[in-house]
A and B are shown apart, each in its own frame.
Chain A
C-alpha cells in the first residue's frame, strides 16, 4: 500500500498540490483523476521521486520515502515500474533490449535468465514477434505495450502509469486498460494510474482519487461515486457523458 500524508508541492511560489492525504491499495487499479492542470502528473512524479516534496510524507508499506538513504531509495526504485505518457523507450535499443535493460542494470541474473525473463514479459504483452524492431518503427499502442513489458520486467510491487491511453484510439485504449488490469491482479501490484479518460475509470478503476485545482476533492471506491454529493466530482463525471 502507498499512503500520502499532507503532501504539499509548489513551483515558483505557486502551489500545485495542497494538503493531499490518500492511500493506494495493493492488487487494485488506483486512479488519480481530474481536469488538466489539476496536479495529477505532479502527484505521480512526487510518488516516484522525480519531484521533491515541499511538505508531507509518502509511505510505501509503512516505509517513509523521505527517510530512506541512497541505497534504500535505489532498492525501493527497483520495486517500482513506470509507464510514461509517451512510453519513454530508449531510441538506440530495439524492443528486446529495452525490456532487458532494467534487468541488465539492476539484477544479478545471468544473460540467459535475463533473455528468458525479457521474452516472457514481451510474450505477456503479445509482442514477442516484434522483439527486433526499433522504437521508431512501433505504433503508439505497441510502444505502450513494450513500455508495460519493461515496467514489469523487474517484478515490481508498484506500477505507475501516466495517462496510458493518451494518443491511442478507443480499441487500443481498451487493450492497454485490460492489460494493466490483468497484470495488476495477476501479480498483486499496487497500480496507480493518472488519467482523465473516464472510460478507463469506469472499466478498470477500483479506488479513485479526484483532484481539482491542486486539492483533494474526493477519494473512495468507484461504486461510491454515484452516491457522492461532491458537486465538482459529479460535474466532472457528467461532463464526460459516461455512465457508471
Chain B
C-alpha cells in the first residue's frame, strides 16, 4: 500500500516535470510529428482489422438477439451503431492501443533509462521528462481521436458487410437502421473518453518506462506493468466518465 502511494506521488511529480515551458519549439514540433508517425500511423492497420471484425461480430450477435417478428429488422443497424460508437470504438480500441502503444512507450523510455540516454540528457541540462514524454502525450492526444473515428466508420462498414453476407439483413435495412435517432452527443462522449484514455495510456506508460530499473529484464517488467495498469485505469475511468456524462 505504501508503494502504491509513493508511485502516485512519483507519477504526479513526473507530470509536473513534463508540463513546463520550453524554448526550442521547432525541435519539439519535429518530435511530435515523429511520434505521430511511430505511435499513430503504425497503429492504423491493427485498428482497421480489429474494427472490421468487431463491427461484424456485434452485428451478427445483435441479429441473433433480434430473432423475433415483433422488432423491425432495421433495429440491428441502429443497435450495432450505438454499440460501436458508445463503447466498442473508444474503449475496446483504447484497450488494444494500451497494449500496442503503451508497451512501445514503456519499453522505449525504459531502454533509454537503462542505457543511460536519460542520464545523458540530464547531464546536458535538458529536461528529459519534457523532451521525451511531452511529444508522446501530444501525439496520442491528437491521433487517438482520429483512430477512434476511423474505428467507428470501419466497424460500421464491417457490420454492414457481415449483415449482408450472412443474409441477416439487407444493406438498405442496415443503412436505414444507422439513420435512426441520430444522437451526435454520443460521438462527442466517445471522443471525450478517447482523449482521457489517450492521456492515461501515454502518461502511465511513460511513468513505468521512466522509472524502469534492472537492465533488459527491468524494461520487460515495466512494459508489462504499464499495459496492465493502463488497462485497469482505462476501465475505471470508463465507468466514471459514463456515469458523469450519460448517467
Contacts and interface: CB of A to CB of B under 8 A. Distances in A.
Interface of A: 48-50, 73-75, 77-78, 80, 82, 84-86, 88-92, 102, 104-106
- What are the 5 closest A-B residue pairs judged by CB atoms, nearest first? A77-B125, A88-B116, A74-B125, A88-B120, A82-B123
Nearest to A162: B116
20 contacts: A49-B122, A50-B123, A74-B125, A77-B124, A77-B125, A78-B125, A82-B123, A84-B116, A85-B116, A88-B117, A88-B119, A90-B112, A90-B117, A90-B120, A91-B117, A102-B124, A105-B27, A105-B124, A105-B131, A106-B125
B27 A104 contact: yes
A73 B125 CA distance: 8
A49 B121 CA distance: 12
Given A90-B117, A104-B27, 16 more contacts: A50-B119, A50-B123, A74-B125, A75-B125, A77-B125, A78-B125, A84-B120, A85-B116, A88-B117, A88-B119, A88-B120, A90-B112, A91-B112, A105-B24, A105-B27, A105-B124
B16 interface: no
Contacts of A106: 124-126
Contacts of A102: 124
Contacts of B27: 104-105
A91 B116 contact: no
Contacts of A89: 117
Contact of A49 (B24, B34, B117, B123): B123
A48 B123 CA distance: 6
A92 B33 CA distance: 14
B115 interface: yes
Interface of B: 24, 27, 34, 111-112, 115-117, 119-120, 122-126, 131
A78 B125 CA distance: 7
Contacts of A82: 120, 123-124
A193 to B, nearest CB: 16
Nearest to A75: B125
B133 to A, nearest CB: 14
A84 B126 contact: no
Contacts of A104: 24, 27
A92 B24 CA distance: 18
Contacts of B117: 88-91
Nearest to B123: A82
A78 B123 CA distance: 8
Nearest to A73: B125
A105 B119 contact: no
Contacts of B119: 50, 84, 88
A50 B116 CA distance: 11
Nearest to B117: A88
Contacts of A90: 112, 117, 120
Contacts of B120: 82, 84, 88, 90
A50 B24 contact: no
A82 B117 CA distance: 11
A106 B119 CA distance: 16
Given A104-B27, A105-B27, A86 B116 contact: yes
Contacts of B34: 92
Contacts of B24: 104-105
